Structure 1
Amino acid sequence: MQTFKNKNYWFSSGYLFLFFITWSFWWSFYSIWLNGTIGLTGSQTGTIFSINSFLSLIFMILYGVIQDKIGTKKYLIWFQSIFLMGIGPFFIFVYEPLLQSNFYTGAILGGLYFGAGFIAGVAFIESYAEKLSRKYTFEYGTSRMWGSIGYACATFIAGILLSINPHINFWLASLAGVGFFILNCFFKNEVSAKEEEKTANLSVKDILTIFSVKKFWYFVAFLFGTACIYTIYDVQLFPIYFTQHFEDVKTGYQVYGYLNSFQVLLESAMLFVAPFIVNRIGAKQALILAGFVMGSRIVGSALVDSAVGISLIKLLHGVELPILLVAIFKYISLNFDQRLSATIYLIGFKVSGEVGVIFFSSLIGKLYDTTSFETTYFVLGAIVYIFTFTAMFFLSNQHSKKAEFISYEIRKNG
């Protein structure tokens, strides 16, 4: 395929591959580490996630506006690489000791670091890769696939190492961050006069006009009630619930790591075909499909009572996420000013999601502490179903042509 001969496709894929390796080594078992290793309660874990989300909002807004203003220049990539390389020492020498001795100080410092480097960082690196895909004419989904492959590889190893010593995972995360920095040294991204002009002409007024567009707020509301709730379920609750299906917690850690790896490999395969699915059925229909899959996975988790059943439920994530990610970028490109793609993605998707985490993480943690996982899952699933059903009437129904590229700037494949 022509895509695989495009050197810029491989640089974009390399960024995603190494970023997600770095992220997976600590993030995939973050709630388990907080709960099992550090010994935090469900309410404290919820507080951690709320603080992380709140502080990441600052960086999401800044990243979105700055990246749209500078286009595909690499300034923020350099900034990002600092956080990736330093994640290991930060966890071991700063974050862990502070959580045990001064909880709120540790939580706030962690929120600043994770917000800048990863929670807002993942949205930035995804939006940057999407800009590169339009600039150098390849499908974003096929590039994002390598991020999932990296996440799967790291999760497979991290599940084993977590039961030995979590610090090994943190050091490996930093090592992958060094690889990210080296890759950026070799990527030569040419910024033409045309691109310079398009981004230079983007004003604050242009950015602020998006907040007066009604369909932007419909889009935000849908993501707030679906992806946000689903993220809390998947990151804050599900890993702990999964390991409770095993008599030996360490065995649960390892099985979760193996399953997570398989699920992310499934996700990688789906990211390859997701652009074809989204182009075929339309961005709106793809978003609604992803919403129903999210709700079904949450409710399904409350209905199964075996390790095999809960494992099969987890694999639905590998189907839902690729369709959701590709559909979001397609929906943005069809309905809004393409120069604002990073701002809309970070604010419309990521900021709305993190605002939801801020308001709901502690509340959901308390609901779990006072009731059960099953009751919590039924409540969350119902919320996702309601927002998804409502979106059928309010999301815009514009279609793109089959296999259409949303142009950023036409360039020859490198």
Structure 2
Amino acid sequence: MAQLKNSTLSSGDIHSADTVISPGKCSPVLLLLINSFLYISVALYSPFLSAYYRQNGITSSQIGILMTVAPLASVIIQPFWAKRSDESGKAKKYVCAIILGIIVSLYTFYLGHSFTTFLIASILLALFSTSVNPMIDAIVIRNANYFQYNFATIRMGGTVGYAVIVLLVGVYLRKNPSAQFFLASIGYLILLLLLLRLPESENHQPIAIKKALPFWQQFKLSEIFVDKTIYFVLAFAFIYQLGASFLGSFLGVYTVELGYGQAQVGLLSCVQACSEIPVLLLIQKLSKKFGTLHLIAAATFLMGARLITASGGSLLFLILAQAMQGITYMIVHFCCATYIASHAKEGKASQGQSVLYIVQTGIASILGNILGGKIIDHIGIQFSYRYFGIVIFIIAAVIACCLFWREHSMQKSVISK
């Protein structure tokens, strides 16, 4: 794997609440299994959630609200989990506590089938589930970088696990849709057991010295990242996720409206996951050849094309749209995660990944879900997908022009010197 060059602060800028322990040996197999069960657990319930709501009589607007709970928690709750983990240096302890919270909250979906009970369950789940991905990303990338493991190979475990499980579970849930929450809890329990096998050094990470800053300034990007190129990464991530959340949140509903069921939802999710494999095999070569920012820009453009393809109105078009997952989601996810890992300040790893999730699964997803639900109620899912795709194209073009102008200006500045 290409070496991730984490910028470090001076020795006076970091310390540890406890004694810093040298990283203990962390097997690549353990990291692979952790990443696999992170996505397997999600695959056991997340792709089927909106269809489950619709089957219980929940309207599109209400589904939009329910699907917005997690993004809202990403903005409000997730930063505090990440900040507390970084400030304590106890990444392993906090991620295990969060997994326990997820397991318990999944069972609250059995409290009833009304909008109110689903809302309560969604809120409880979101308090924990929105924080687990960035924290595990920080842990896995940190160890992969330290021991020079190939992160793309490790990430492939999640992709393959997701693809296999979502296809098998989709068939089973056709007759037992409510079983998804029990199955997911088992997946997270296995993930918890794997996380407990992480070296003890994950509870003794170096931490940044607290600065006497006003509360709102503690979350400034300049306090977390080493340069301003992060703004372009986050801008593309935001626009990409605006379209991706809209597509994903209502895909199950759209599939049901077209006359299909949970088995087809599982098939679409499997196609989606399988499309990520060739991208993961080539992502490092592509990054070296075209540059990380350029790849993210291209993937954002393709997200617009993916939405327009999904508006075709048949299973074939949906399969084609989901087959574009690799060249859209995986490029954005992988490139953003590794870029942030290499541009976050020492002791800010979890907060760095958290910023990405706030922008994507938080702000962008909130807008995508709420606006999407309202628009769908007026013009339907098919036309909404088409119009959203056009909007993504236009905004991505504007950001790309700004990026290329900045790069051109910097090149001219270097030449003039």
Give the TM-score normalised by the residue count of structure 1: 0.81
Counterpart in the other structure of 1:272: 281
Distance 2:218 2:29 in 1: 31
> 2:185 matched to 1:167?
no
Deviation at 1:282, TM superposition (A): 0.9
Contact 1:301–1:377, Cα closer than 8 Å, also in 2:
yes
1:371 equivalent in alignment to 2:373: no
Amino acid at match of 1:361: N
Kindly provide the CA deviation profile for residues 306-355 of structure 1, in whole angstroms up to 9, marking residues without a partner as x.
Answer: 32232122111133222111210243245553543432322234345412
- Residue 140 (structure 2) aligns with: 129
Would you say the 8 A contact 2:233–2:296 is kept in 1? no
- Note the C-alpha offset of 1:381: 1.0
Contact 2:82–2:131 (8 Å) recurs in 1: no
Structure 1 residue aligned with 2:124, among 96, 113, 125? 113
| 2: CA distance, partners of 1:319 / 1:287 | 10
Q: Judging changes above 3 Å, is the alpha-carbon distance between structure 1 residues 83 and 255 closer, same or farther for their aligned structure 2 residues?
A: same
Shift of 1:368: 0.8
| Amino acid of the structure 2 residue aligned with 1:367 | I
1:281 and 1:46 map into 2 onto residues whose CA distance is: 37
Alignment partner, residue 290 of structure 1: 299
Give the whole-Å Cα distance in 2 for the aligned partners of 1:133 and 1:142.
Answer: 10
Moved more, 212-221 or 125-134: 212-221
In 2: Cα distance, 1:335 partner to 1:390 partner: 24
TM-fit CA distance, 1:166: 1.8
- Give the corresponding residue for 2:244: 230
DSSP 3-state at the match of 1:74 = helix
SS of 2:82's equivalent in the other structure is helix
Once the two structures are TM-superposed, the CA of residue 191 in structure 1 deviates from its matched residue by: 5.5
Give how far 1:299 is off.
1.2
- Cα separation, 1, equivalents of 2:161 and 2:127: 21
Worse-superposed segment, 63-72 or 356-365: 63-72
Give the Cα separation in 2 of the matches to 1:17 and 1:174: 15
1:47 and 2:47 aligned: no
Note if contact 1:31-1:45 (Cα within 8 Å) is conserved in structure 2. Answer: yes
Is the contact between residue 19 and residue 180 of structure 1 (CA under 8 Å) also seen in structure 2?
A: yes
Q: Which runs of 5+ in 1 are unaligned?
A: 399-414
| 1:383 is aligned to 2:367 | no
Larger helix fraction of residues: 1
The Cα shift of 1:207 comes to 5.0
Pairing 1:108-257 to 2, within 5 Å after superposition: 109-190=120-201, 196=206, 199-201=207-209, 203=211, 208-211=219-222, 215-234=229-248, 236-246=249-259, 249=260, 252-257=261-266
After superposition, give the CA deviation of every residue in 1:75-131 in whole Å (9 maximum; x if it has no partner): 122112203433542222x3xx1x51xx34641x33433223323322322233222
Letter in 2 for 1:390: V
In 1, distance between residues paired with 2:144 and 2:78?
Answer: 21
Deviations 1:209-229 (A, max 9, x none): 525875444433332222233
The farther-off stretch of 137-146 and 43-52 is 137-146
Determine whether 1:74 maps to 2:92.
yes
Q: Within 2, Cα distance between the matches of 1:204 and 1:64?
A: 19
What SS does the aligned partner of 1:337 have? coil
CA 161–117 in structure 1, closer or farther in 2 if over 3 Å, else same: farther
**Matched AA of 1:379:** Y
Q: Deviations over 1:43-71 (max 9, x none)?
A: 01011122332133233212332343345
Aligned length: 378
Q: Structure 1 residues 280 and 241 mapped into 2: Cα distance closer, same or farther (>3 Å)?
A: same
Task: Determine the C-alpha separation between the residues in 1 that align with 2:127 and 2:35.
Answer: 17
Is residue 343 of structure 2 the alignment partner of residue 346 of structure 1?
Answer: no
Corresponding residue for 1:23? 42
Instruction: State whether residues 337 and 353 of structure 2, in contact with CA within 8 Å, keep that contact through their aligned partners in structure 1.
Output: yes
Residue in structure 2 matched with residue 316 of structure 1 by the alignment? 324
Q: In 2, are the aligned partners of 1:288 and 1:388 still within 8 Å (CA)?
A: yes
CA distance in 2, matches of 1:276, 1:207: 36
Task: Measure the CA separation in 2 of the matches of 1:245 and 1:329.
Answer: 35
